[in-house]
Chain A
Amino acid sequence: GIQVEQSPPDLILQEGANSTLRCNFSDSVNNLQWFHQNPWGQLINLFYIPSGTKQNGRLSATTVATERYSLLYISSSQTTDSGVYFCAVEKNSGGSNYKLTFGKGTLLTVNP
C-alpha cells in the first residue's frame, strides 16, 4: 500500500515562532488532507489539498503532487496550536478507492 511519512515526529516551539511540517508519500494521490488532533482527541480538518497551495489565517499548505510531498506552514504559533498534526492521502487508483492512509503525525508543543 501507499506509504506516508511525516517529519519531524516531535516539535517544540515558543509562542510566536513559525514552523514547517512535511508529509512525503510514496505514490500518486487523489486526495491529501491535513488534520489537527486536539488534546481531547477531536480530528479537525485543516486542508483538503491534493495539489497547489491554500491558506487559512495563520496556516497554509502546499502540495507538490509530482514530487510526492506536502508542507504545512504554521506562522506566529499559539499555545492552542499544540496537538498532533496528521497528513492523510488517498492513493490514485483510477477512481475513488475511499481509503485514507494516515501518517504517524507530528506532535507539536507550543510553550508560552
Chain B
Amino acid sequence: SQTIHQWPATLVQPVGSPLSLECTVEGTSNPNLYWYRQAAGRGLQLLFYSVGIGQISSEVPQNLSASRPQDRQFILSSKKLLLSDSGFYLCAWSVVGQTQYFGPGTRLLVL
C-alpha cells in the first residue's frame, strides 16, 4: 500500500533562517506531488505541484521554492524565512484523475 511521510513534524525557526521540508512517498511510481499551506484559520492553499522529476509548477508568488530530485521525493525550501511563512505545510500525492492523499503535515513557526 502507499504511504506518505513528512518531516520534521514541527519546526521553530528564526526570521531570516533557511528552510527545508521533505516529503517522500512509498508504494507508487511517478505520482503527482503537491505542497499546500494551511494558515491560521482553515483554508488550504496550493503552493506547488509536480508531475515528474525536475518539473515544478508554482501557484503563488512567494518566498518559497520546491524541488523534486527523485521520483518520490518532494522538497520545500526557503533561503530566508519570513514571519508570514508560519503555517501548517501539507504534502500530497495522486495518480492523474484520482484522489489526492495527504501526509501528516509539518507545523512551522517563524519567530
Chain A residues close to B by CB (< 8 Å): 30-31, 33, 35, 40-43, 45, 48, 84, 86, 88, 96, 98-105, 107
Inter-chain CA distance A79–B88, complex, in Å, is 24
Given A30-B97, A99-B49: A42 and B42 within 8 A (CB)? no
Chain B residues close to A by CB (< 8 Å): 32, 34, 38, 41-46, 49, 51, 59, 88, 90, 92, 94, 96-102, 104-105, 107
Contact A48 B99 (CB under 8 A): yes
Given A48-B98, A96-B96: A41 and B104 within 8 A (CB)? yes
Contact B59 A99 (CB under 8 A): yes
Nearest CB on A from B27, distance (A): 16
Majority-rule SS of B interface residues: strand
Q: Contact partner of B42 among A31, A99, A100, A107, CB < 8 A?
A: A107
